[in-house]
Amino acid sequence: MDTSMLRLAGIAAAALAAPTAFFIYGLVGWEPAEFSWSAVFVAAFIAYGYGLMVSVPVSLAFGLPYVLWLQARGRLSWLNVCAGAAVAGGGVFTALWALSFQFYKPLWVFALLGLGSGLLSGAAFCVVMRPNKSFKPIPLRGTA
């Protein structure tokens, strides 16, 4: 698989990581007596519907240019990708907190959720893309 297809698969994995985590978190919190398949479908619709509305634009607007910038500078590594994704996630969740007018909920909760979901998305991207720092390009002839 060439790098452009691998990069797109990484962006897709990153966009799906946070909604999947929120969906699983929602399933874990249910009591067995409250479980029904219709509620699972509703929870999946909410988690993926709202989650993908946020994660896809963020992955394309922030994640892809950041990865391309890191790759051009030769600094594409797990640490840099995950750190940038965590910062982007924290920033986006902080902006969502401000736009939702839920000021009765503390900002640090939204910021930590954003950091965690961004870190998870960055890790999902890295699992698919596998950034490699050990790549050594062949030098041009005549250079020392």
**DSSP one-letter code for 59:** I
Q: How far apart are the first and last CA of the chain?
A: 33
What pLDDT tens digit does each residue of the chain (144 aa) get? Answer: 677 788 889 899 999 999 999 899 888 877 877 778 888 899 899 999 999 999 999 999 999 999 999 989 988 889 999 999 999 999 999 998 888 877 777 888 889 999 999 999 999 999 998 766 554 556 666 655
Q: Check: pTM over 0.85? Answer yes or no.
A: no
User: Exposed, middle or buried by CB within 10 Å (0-12, 13-18, 19+), for 58?
Assistant: buried
* Cα dihedral 107→109→114→120 (10° resolution): 170
**C-alpha torsion sign, points 130, 127, 79, 121:** positive
Which residues, 6+ apart, have CB-to-CB distance to 94 below 8 Å?
Answer: 107, 110, 111, 114
Nearest residue to 85 (alpha-carbon basis) of 44, 117, 38: 117
**Structure token pair of residue 37:** 């398949």
Cβ neighbours of residue 70 closer than 8 Å, sequence gap 6 or more: 76, 77, 80, 81, 84
